Amino acid sequence: MRVMLFLFAYLFLIAQYAKPHWLLSLSKKERKRRKKLAELNKELEETRAEENKQTQTKHYKLTEIIEMVFTIYFRILKNDPTSKLLSAILEGLAE
């Protein structure tokens, strides 16, 4: 059991620190190009994440506003069904 655990740990460390064989055969120019491409992809992902966060915040705010409006509509309908605001409320609910 100990031997298998040691072997597994050894292989894990080798895999973690060993350079891939394709990296050794690339030219310096190609390594720079790949590094630059990786940086650009990272920036792109960060930008997309920020945009998604902004749209989620926007949708959350809109949802909260709609929820408040419906709460007001139904509160008026429940408390005073003969109100003068009834026509406006029904039009708002129809939309």
| pLDDT tens sequence for the chain (95 residues) | 666 666 667 767 666 666 666 556 778 888 888 889 999 999 989 888 888 888 888 888 888 988 998 888 788 888 877 777 777 777 777 77
How many CB atoms neighbour CB 26 within 10 A? 13
Structural domain containing residue 25:
2-94
Q: How many domains does the chain have?
A: 1
The confidence score (pLDDT) of residue 30 equals: 83
Residues in the chain, overall count: 95
User: pTM of this prediction?
Assistant: 0.44
CB 89 within 8 A of CB 76: yes
> What's the DSSP call for residue 27?
-
Helix, strand, coil shares of the chain, percent, nearest 5, are 85, 0, 15
